[in-house]
Amino acid sequence: MNVKSITKAVSEDEDLMVQSLMAMLRIKAVGPESGGDGEHERGKYVAKLVKDLGFKSVEVLNSPDKRVPSGKRPNIIARLEGTTKRKMWVVSHMDTVPEGDLSAWKYPPYEPKLVEGRIYGRGAEDNGQQLVASLFGLRALLKLGIKPECTIGLVFVADEEHGFTHGIDFLIKKKMFKKGDLAVVPDHGLPDGSGIEVVEKGIAWINVEVVGKQTHASTPDKGVNAFEAAARFVLAATEVLRGKYSGVDPLFDPPISTFEPTKCELNTLNVNTIPGRQVFAFDFRVLPKYPLGEVMATLREVADKVETSTKAKISMSFIQRSDAPPSTPVDSEIVQQLSAAVELVRGIRPRPMGIGGGTCAAPFRRHGIEAAVWSTIPGTAHDANEYARVKDLVGDAQVYAVLFAGKNLQGL
């Protein structure tokens, strides 16, 4: 069996792939945190599709959730047994974010349209394309009678957009994934598929409350200006943190830690009042070499100094904290196998890279499972007019098919 034969087997299914993705996108799958009913109906469609495509091993694992009408959040698992007990997983998700401002959409978000090679619809890129691509990549092996070396497991999870509680974390607690497994998580990508994410920055979103004493603006000596104290804190904190944690890692873009003041709440309605309370937020994306605990201790030291100089009180709390998970080594088995598959199909050798955002690879890496993050996407996730390109849908399916076939292919 050669690469041309297996990519041809995928291409023959192009129309069915497009039809399947569009049919799935017609079924809304928004989580309860955003007022949706969850993935139950979409899960039923996906499970039926898997069976209709000829897979004999289809499993549904439901995570109980009283917030949705069905009372459960489905996770669908399709398997193709290999010649060894070694397992390789591709984990994509069924849920989507809400549609947002309907007036911003060219086409109704749940009535997908195929226009000039693009499939428009909510969830087309995030993460429907990869769900369908991985499924049809594995179907190519079924059609050709290829038995992979690893047992291949395709996992279509719930609850990615609001955390992993009813999806990945639920399955990890059930011990579905084990150390020594290999995993591809298509939770990030580049427009040409030329990057494989292997490492993430630590993330800290911090709410800051500065309390002073309100007074009339004509008598500032009678109060403590919380706005001024907050401004002094922002300037001091960013200067100290950027100076102390100034390391560079070329895997990332940008290659440095970032410490940014972001959201700022209203402090007073009129001009002639000195505010007694100011609330704002920081967004930190920190290179893995710097522990978040150390960064936060430094931030607290700066806050203490500003408190002393201004007489204001500064309190901080996490809106979100995610310490950087262990990285996947660039020479790891899954990175090398995926790189080889991309190169065979696309003619490019993808580079290892890091990102500042968090991905679904983090829980795997924390459990000692090598995970590579890869896909080919235009970057429209969560946007109005989100779309997936048909060429990426087919091309990524071909990469998956070659990856799954492994040593069955000549030249590997």
Q: Which of 160, 161, 386, 392 is catalytic?
A: 160
Q: Which of 95, 99, 159, 187 is catalytic?
A: 95
Bridge partner residues of 114 (DSSP): 119
* Tokens representing residue 241 in the block: 């943190």
* Tokens representing residue 384 in the block: 């109005």
Bridge partner residues of 211 (DSSP): 277, 313
What lies within 8 Å, CB to CB, of 237 at 6+ separation is: 259, 282, 299, 302, 303
**Distance (Å, whole) CA 375 – CA 127:** 10
In angstroms, the Cα distances linking 298 to 24, 246, 260, 318 are 48, 14, 15, 15
**Distance (Å, whole) CA 313 – CA 208:** 10
**Distance (Å, whole) CA 141 – CA 120:** 29
Active site residue 37: no
**Distance (Å, whole) CA 89 – CA 409:** 19
Pair 380, 386: CB distance under 8 Å: yes
Active site residue 95: yes
In single-letter form, the type of residue at position 192 comes to D
**Distance (Å, whole) CA 412 – CA 406:** 7
| Torsion of Cα atoms, 142 then 147 then 150 then 152, to 10° | 10
CA 352 to chain centre: 17
Annotate 285-343 with DSSP letters as a single string.
EE-TTS-HHHHHHHHHHHHHHHHHHH--EEEEEEEEEEPPPPPPPTTSHHHHHHHHHHH
**Distance (Å, whole) CA 196 – CA 190:** 9
Dihedral (CA of 91, 94, 96, 102) sign: positive
**Distance (Å, whole) CA 322 – CA 251:** 19
**Distance (Å, whole) CA 219 – CA 213:** 12
User: Tokens 């709390």 sit at which residue?
Assistant: 317
* Catalytic residue positions, numbered: 95, 160
